[in-house]
Structure 1
Amino acid sequence: MIVETGRLVLRGFVESDVESLVWLLGEPRVMRYIEDGKPVSRADVERVVLPKVLAGGWWAAHEKASGAFVGWFELSPAGPGAAELGYRLHPDFWGRGYATEGASALVEHGRAIGLTRVVAFAMAVNTGSRRVLEKVGLRHVRTFHEEWPDPIEGAEHGDVEYALDLRSDAP
């Protein structure tokens, strides 16, 4: 499946995308607010990440104009009628509105395929991601705290859940 926006092409991942994933997930600024806050090794990309994204629900994002790999977007199952929205863009492409553009397209794609709810999660201190979620219509539902074996900077402020009910445009 392909989802297109004005400037992006989102397509399913293929095995040959491994180098792009290594480039994206090996970047410390991408991983700053995710999992253990550390870059993902090539071995883990090949062993864990690639099989997950190949299973579906994740899209490789490319600029239409240049064909350059920008990052990924996620709209993966999160319960009956629901999907989780996510994105990871390489810093070379930050500040261009791509996160909002791709996330908005996937919210609309979710509506078109009959989803009833979109949810998303971020660290409370990740103001950039929170702003994107709000721009595409999701609203803050709750702030919560999880126990992490190796908490990263900002974890003491918790995580946030955002959601959008696609039947009524309400959280």
Structure 2
Amino acid sequence: MTVFLTTERLVLRRFTAADVDHLVELDGDPEVMRHLTGGRPTAREQVEGELLPLYLAHYRRYGDLGWWAAEERAGGAFLGWFEFRPTREGDRSEVELGYRLRRAAWGLGYATEGVRALVRRGFTALGVRRVVAYTMTVNAGSRRVMEKTGLSFVRTFHEDYPEAIPGSEHGEVEYALTAGQWRARDGAARSGILEP
């Protein structure tokens, strides 16, 4: 197991081929997928043939930027994943932040803990200059995590999706945080991060 980051309660590690069932289960929960696909699950074939190969390819290309499996530090239960990857090919200065957690992990502070640790690592060790995150306007939970982490609202926008899902008529929102803003607000603050 290749550990990328450890926090007080989380271990973020590289995905492996053995994680197919974890991803299928995660994306099989209609509530987890509500703001992504309207609740439709991701097919096992897509996980095996597209998603997992994409995650693994990012490790080869970027090493320390990509998707990270999230596990409980105590007990090792799979909780979901965090995304921290370049928005433009070959450019590490701006990364997209995201996460997807099992319903059992909601409301326990795992998302905020993982996001804070990733932002801190990005700005202090990975050369990241700007972090962006997107969600549906109606996804109040994810918006709260972004705000608690220090990201600020940038804009509301509308995508032309082939199939509308409940809430998509309100559009998507973008949040962002620059390294300078982070240092000014939180530079000396502890984020609960422990090196692997």
TM-score range, shorter chain: over 0.9
2:12 to 10, 14, 39: 10
Which gives a bigger RCO, structure 1 or 2 (Cα 8 Å, sep 6+)?
A: 2
Provide the residue aligned with 2:175 in structure 1.
162
Provide the residue aligned with 2:78 in structure 1.
69
1:145 to 134, 138, 158: 158
**Which amino acid in the other structure matches residue 50 of structure 2?**
V
Offset, 1:74? 0.4
Structure 1, unaligned runs of 5 or more: none
Provide the residue aligned with 2:112 in structure 1.
100
- Report which stretch shifted further, 28-37 or 118-127: 28-37
Contact 2:11–2:70 (8 Å) recurs in 1: yes
Matched pairs, number: 170
Contact 1:21–1:45 (8 Å) recurs in 2: yes
- Report which stretch shifted further, 17-26 or 123-132: 17-26
2:135 to 122, 127, 138: 122
Q: TM-score, normalised by structure 1?
A: 0.95
Provide the residue aligned with 1:28 in structure 2.
30
Offset, 1:113? 1.1
CA RMSD of aligned residues (A): 1.3
Contact 1:36–1:150 (8 Å) recurs in 2: no
> Is structure 2 residue 63 aligned with structure 1 residue 54?
no
Q: TM-score, normalised by structure 2?
A: 0.83
- Could you tell me how far apart the structure 2 residues matched to 1:133 and 1:155 are? 19
Give deviations 1:49-103, integer Å, cap 9, x for gaps. Answer: 1111212300000001110000000001113301000000000111110000011
- Report which stretch shifted further, 118-127 or 76-85: 76-85
